């Protein structure tokens, strides 16, 4: 297995079929078109990280999208998406190491994420804790 940080939009487009499958199963707030435009605009930003994991046959077995956010008080690492083939459990561990290293290299002590499912499992397994509630109202 190897994990590569994507540096071009063409590299990121490799995950498009996977992302489409994810979106069929999950409720997604951001339309795919808007997500792709955002990735294209951010791919060269040093505060944007897009990593792809490949197996020995050069097939994608996972990907991770992170950003570094600077607000008034501190820098925060935000997890946008982590996906990996369920048969490839080691990918998740390697992604966590990669994200932790990136955070340490950028002097970041806080990681945040939005979750809309399996919240209790994330709390139990990865020691995340809820700190706020995001509420939504659609405008028609």
Provide Rg for the chain, Cα atoms.
15
| Angle at CA of residue 38, ends 133 and 138, nearest 5° | 40
How long is the chain?
A: 140
Q: What is the pTM of this model?
A: 0.85
Helix (H), strand (E) counts: the chain: 5, 5
User: Each residue of 6-48: pLDDT tens digit?
Assistant: 999 999 999 999 998 888 887 777 788 888 889 999 999 999 9
- Going by pLDDT thresholds of 50, 70 and 90, the confidence category of residue 132 is confident
CATH value of 2-115 in 3.40.630.30, 2.40.30.10, 3.30.360.10, 1.50.10.20: 3.40.630.30
Q: What angle do helix axes 32-42 and 16-25 make, rounded to 10 degrees?
A: 140
Measured CA to CA, the distance from residue 135 to residue 80 in angstroms comes to: 18
Measured CA to CA, the distance from residue 54 to residue 96 in angstroms comes to: 16
- Going by pLDDT thresholds of 50, 70 and 90, the confidence category of residue 108 is very high
Read off the DSSP letter of residue 27.
Answer: -
Instruction: Give yes or no for residue 115 having a pLDDT over 90.
Output: no
Are the beta carbons of 65 and 43 closer than 8 angstroms? no
Measured CA to CA, the distance from residue 116 to residue 130 in angstroms comes to: 12
pLDDT given at position 122: 83
Instruction: Give yes or no for residue 74 having a pLDDT over 90.
Output: no
């Amino acid at each position: 297995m190897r994990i590569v940080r994507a540096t071009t939009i063409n590299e990121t487009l490799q995950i498009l079929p996977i992302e489409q499958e994810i979106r069929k199963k999950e409720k997604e707030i951001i339309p795919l078109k808007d997500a792709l435009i955002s990735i294209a605009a951010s791919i060269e930003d040093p505060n944007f990280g897009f990593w792809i994991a490949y197996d020995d046959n050069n097939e994608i077995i996972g990907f991770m999208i992170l950003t570094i956010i600077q607000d008034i008080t501190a820098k925060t690492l935000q997890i946008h998406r982590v996906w990996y083939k369920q048969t490839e459990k080691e990918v998740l561990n390697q992604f966590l190491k990669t994200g932790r290293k990136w955070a340490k290299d950028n002097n970041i002590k806080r990681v945040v994420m939005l979750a809309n499912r399996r919240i209790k499992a994330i709390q139990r397994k990865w020691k995340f804790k809820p700190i706020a509630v995001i509420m939504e109202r659609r405008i028609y």
